[in-house]
Chain A
Amino acid sequence: MSDFHLDFIVNGEIKHWTIAPGDLLLDVLRREGYFGVKRGCETGECGACTVLVNGKPINSCLMFAAQAEGCEILTIEGVAEGEKLDPLQEAFLEYGAVQCGYCTPGMILSAKALLAEHPDPTEAQVREALGGNFCRCTGYLKPVEAIMAAARVYRQVGPSGARPKAERRSALLGKKR
């Protein structure tokens, strides 16, 4: 089979990538330098490769890159605005929620999706949202505390990061179509 030439919106930027039909989104993202997308199991169990596709957390090891054509993909690299951290990232540092940091990108992205839907989550909702993100270092307490704290900041000042608006998204893709 021949390669595809497809468009993606990654962290608010349009990307034109050549991919093989069987390429996994995880592999393509890492190949393109998004090393914050981590490989932990390749079977959709650990959540280290979590990215947001159109706002939904998915295991990028279980998705063909081709399936994400035209989608908005948010990786950990797009969560901060330059040097300005997202409240979730700030809280993860502030609350000691990062140990080895390998599962951290996945946890932050899962939390980001949660807070977009539930700005005032209960602890149970936070734990549910992290249910697909294994962490072997923290015992989850500090990540949960960090997410609860970040939710309070979100409610006050809102999240930061690269989040293209719907109209901008179509403009980005439309240009090349």
Chain B
Amino acid sequence: MSSKHSIVGKNLQKVDGFKLVTGRPAFTDDIYLPGMLYGKILPSPHAHARIKRIDTRKAKELRGVHAVLTYKDVPRVPHTTAGQSWPEPSPYDTYLLDSKMRLVGDRVAAVAAESRAIAEEALRLIEVEYEVLPAILEIEQATADGAPVIHDEPDATGIHDAQHNVAGYILKEIGNVEDGFLESDLVIEREFRTQRQQHCPIEPHVTISWLDSDNRLVIRTSTQVPYHTRRQVAMILQIPVQRVHVVKPRIGGGFGGKQEMLLEDICGALALATHRPVKIEYTREEEFYMARSRHPQILNIKMGVKRDGTLMANKMTVLATTGAYGSHANTVQGNTGSKVLPIYRTPNMRFECHVVYTNTPVAGAFRGYGCPQGYFAQESVMDEIAYTLGMDPVELRKKNMIRLGDIDELSAQLGEGRKGLPRHIRSCGLPECLERGAAAIDWVRKRQEFSNVGPNGVRPLGERRSPLHPESGHLRRGVGVACSMQGSGIAGVDWAAALLKLNEDGSFNLQVGAADLGTGADTVLGQIAAETLGVTLDKMIVCSGDTDFTPFDVGAYASSTTIISGGAVKKASEKVRDHLLLLASKMLDIPVDNLTCRENMVVTKCECEKSVSMEDLAHFAMCKEKVQVMENASHWNTDSPPPFCAQFAEVEVDTETGQIRVVHLVTAVDLGVAINPMQAEGQSEGAVAQSLGYALTEEMVLDASGRVINPSFLDYKMLTAKDMPKLTTILVETEEPLGPYGAKSISEIPINAPAPAVANAVFHAIGVRFQKLPIRPEDVLRALRDKELSSPQRR
């Protein structure tokens, strides 16, 4: 597959790698502008309150303070912070500054001062009197009778049922699940709960904004969505789009958390108010309660299956909270249905979801986008079905999985806030993922050797475990599997453009609106252009994510960049190549049909072997022909080809401490063609690390007042180099007809299934099924104790 290409499929180094390993100034905050002020936001101390009185006089009088803004000073424009395509599917329920506080950390006021210390002192001098309102902290309380109304403002729009705190509601059904359950021999219904996980990019959100010499507002910011941000900021600040210039430098990780316009509006407002450059940067603590997180969900899932393992019905009912604002409320939860249920052919599927407001930190886009929650529930129940039927979990999945040529109609019903498009499966490597993944973890042997759970029930705890470890009776091993799929861009919505320009030395400027946030997109897009033009990657000067200098792109989300932006790059490159061949034909006096581009030259296809170097050709174009070779192209897809993934976990559970140690995590992923296999592996490995944290350690914990009590890396546990298990990544390449050079996507999918694979492996090890994340040592110990107490031997 990849071997027929010279640049695509090669492990080339990142085009931006040199500056990153040498620490050159490349990130948002790596500049200093003369006169730059420090912006700071006063966070609400209350989860739900109204500002009765706010007095900023003392703060304004403090020496070095240049602006203090409250809701009285700024336009009131309902909007969403979610960076999504127009028309935006998330409710307009957010304001630049408001008189009502809806979470601990909500914006009360903003200041700009000559130093951070002065800005912090100014915050202390703002006098606020609050009317504290009853707050909703638990998901189930949101719709209870008499619950306080979080969005009672009259000007919010797009909220499903504001009076009952329901931000969004989804109900889609294919077939009739109740009939499906009647036809089933086995029906299992379970409830799962998932927690609030934080993105934790090592670079916190940071924005620097200033007025340039044309009085335009420049916003240099750590964003995944430069163009959406430009549109949002213009609307919120009530200035023309024309007056806003968004610049995305290098980004220190985003994972969805920067698909959100979080600081750009307030930073821009302060720059407009002071006529000085202003920087605002979240502290790590602020990142935890003022940025975004993964939507917590309570999932009820009921699956019906024939005795032979054929799935007949799958009904998923979700109650999710979006926190205090409805950022990505409908679309994340829509994906919990549309990208999870259809992985298995099921004649009857039903997905219903309420997304409710609570006075808690705001959820938003997070790598996986609703799928990790859904797959935790679905893949756990699939495992239970396999055990109950006495089937191998891998075989049960193989029997039911979606296949090449299938058309998934559920995703047609669950579009991006509107009706979507049916998903045609034009490439599917899932069977190979399951086979190669199983081989890599030694599935068949370990299922038998570790087995605690067989047709005769659970092996008693006191018994020694597998012969592999005869000496350690309290350590139990198990292996588990889980599958997932994702999408590659949003069908019919995501689009991108690319501009490619030839320079007189034979190099090219590749200008893309795409937003490399550390994913390696600039490199992958450069490889696609270089491959198409027959030049080496070092001939590409890649510039991305600048609204003045690069064409439109929706931005980096929904696993869209390689397939959508890459599609645009390929088209633009083909147009440039055609132009180059015409010029070369004229220069060499050889018919165009007989010419091709390769190795930084245009050469003849026939044996006569005439050639011209790209440099000489560029010289000819610019000095003789006086023509700028430059083309642009736009691209979108009518479909979102899903990548597929099978993940296998081996765990060791210490029954004395409750500690779960992941020993080995295998990811076999069908990503289409890997444009850069090394980078693709890196995407997978990073996603797995985040998912293992989701499975075992990561959780934002709130106290009774709605405050995050663990807003630091000390108390919010991410996995370190020492905690990571052995990782095996297998790229299962397929050829996707809709992708550039056959590519699909990789960035999100490997985050979906490690958590259920671990949970299933834990069940294999100790016979306990955990339905709540994260699975903490105390949960394990408690479950083991309960199990022991209820075991027949004890009674």
The chain A residues found within 8 Å of chain B, CB to CB, are 31, 33-43, 45-46, 48, 75-77, 79-80, 85, 89, 92-96, 98-105, 108, 126-128, 130-144
Contacts and interface: CB of A to CB of B under 8 A. Distances in A.
A39 B22 CA distance: 16
Interface stretch (B102-110, B375-383, B461-469, B682-690): B682-690
B686 to A, nearest CB: 5
B22 A36 contact: yes
B284 A136 contact: no
Interface string B282-318: 0110000000000000000000000000000000000
5 contacts: A43-B714, A89-B21, A98-B14, A134-B720, A135-B686
Contact of A138 (B32, B251, B685): B685
B22 A80 contact: yes
Given A96-B678, A142-B682, A85 B22 contact: yes
Interface stretch (B195-203, B207-215, B425-433): B195-203
Contacts of B22: 36, 76-77, 79-80, 85, 89
Given A85-B21, A100-B250, A140-B689, A93 B712 contact: no
Nearest to B20: A101
A97 to B, nearest CB: 8
A92 B724 CA distance: 19
Interface in B697-732: 712-714, 718, 720-722, 724, 727
Contact of A108 (B19, B21, B253, B255): B21
B17 A98 contact: yes
B11 interface: yes
B13 interface: yes
Question: 7 closest Cβ contacts across the A-B interface?
Answer: A36-B23, A100-B518, A101-B20, A102-B252, A76-B23, A139-B685, A139-B689
Contacts of A43: 284, 712-714
Q: How large is the interface on B (under 10, 10 to 19, 20 to 34, 35 or more residues)?
A: 35 or more
Contacts of A137: 253, 518, 682, 686
A13 B474 CA distance: 57
B532 interface: no
A111 to B, nearest CB: 11
Nearest to B518: A100
Contacts of A42: 283-284
B13 A93 contact: yes
A141 B250 CA distance: 22
B709 to A, nearest CB: 15
A141 to B, nearest CB: 5
Contacts of B682: 96, 99, 137-139, 142
B279 to A, nearest CB: 12
B250 A101 contact: yes
A38 B252 contact: yes
Given A79-B22, A131-B721, A40 B202 contact: yes
Interface string B720-759: 1110100100000000000000000000000000000000
B220 to A, nearest CB: 14
Contacts of B199: 136
Interface of B: 11, 13-14, 16-27, 29-30, 32, 199-204, 250-253, 255, 281, 283-284, 517-520, 678-679, 681-683, 685-690, 712-714, 718, 720-722, 724, 727
Residue among B11, B18, B252, B679 with the most chain A CB within 10 A? Answer: B252
A37 B24 CA distance: 10
Residue among A102, A135, A137 with the most chain B CB within 10 A? Answer: A137
Residue among A36, A128, A142 with the most chain B CB within 10 A? Answer: A36
Contacts of A77: 22-23
B255 to A, nearest CB: 7
B251 A100 contact: yes
A141 B685 contact: yes
Contacts of B250: 100-101
A51 to B, nearest CB: 10
A131 B713 contact: no
B161 to A, nearest CB: 36
Contacts of B688: 139
Nearest to A48: B202
Contacts of A94: 13
Contacts of B683: 99
A134 B689 contact: no
Residue among A133, A138, A139 with the most chain B CB within 10 A? Answer: A139
A77 B22 CA distance: 6
B518 A131 contact: no
Q: At the interface, is chain B mostly helix, strand, loop or mixed?
A: loop
Contacts of A126: 721
Given A46-B713, A136-B201, A140-B689, A102 B11 contact: no
Contacts of A95: 678
Contact of A96 (B204, B679, B714): B679
A96 B284 contact: no
Contact of B253 (A76, A80, A96, A100): A100
A83 B600 CA distance: 25
B14 A93 contact: yes
Nearest to A88: B21
A131 B722 CA distance: 6
Nearest to B683: A99
Contacts of B714: 43, 45
Given A38-B202, A96-B11, A136 B686 contact: yes
A38 B201 CA distance: 13
A39 B29 contact: yes
Contact of A131 (B20, B689, B720): B720
B517 A100 contact: yes
Nearest to B729: A141
A75 B712 CA distance: 25
A11 to B, nearest CB: 11
Residue among A34, A100, A128 with the most chain B CB within 10 A? Answer: A100
Contacts of B253: 99-100, 102, 136-137
B712 A45 contact: yes
Contacts of B687: 139
A132 B253 CA distance: 18
Contacts of B517: 100
B721 A35 contact: no
A77 B201 CA distance: 23
Contacts of A140: 685, 689, 720-721, 724
Residue among B16, B20, B204, B690 with the most chain A CB within 10 A? Answer: B20
B314 to A, nearest CB: 31
A172 B281 CA distance: 37
A143 B727 CA distance: 13
B24 to A, nearest CB: 7
Contacts of B712: 41, 43, 45
Contacts of B23: 34-37, 75-77, 79, 104-105
Contact of B202 (A33, A79, A96, A103): A103
Contacts of B14: 93, 96, 98
Contacts of A36: 22-25
B521 to A, nearest CB: 11
A102 B252 CA distance: 5
Contacts of B20: 98, 101, 104
Nearest to A89: B21
A93 B724 contact: no
Contact of A139 (B200, B255, B727): B727
A99 B722 contact: no
A99 B518 contact: yes
Nearest to A80: B22
Nearest to B681: A96
Contacts of A132: 720
Given A36-B25, A104-B20, A136-B686, 18 more contacts: A35-B24, A35-B27, A38-B202, A39-B29, A40-B284, A75-B23, A76-B23, A92-B17, A93-B13, A98-B21, A100-B202, A101-B21, A101-B26, A101-B518, A130-B721, A134-B720, A137-B686, A138-B686
Given A99-B686, A100-B252, A93 B21 contact: yes
A172 B498 CA distance: 52
Contacts of A128: 722
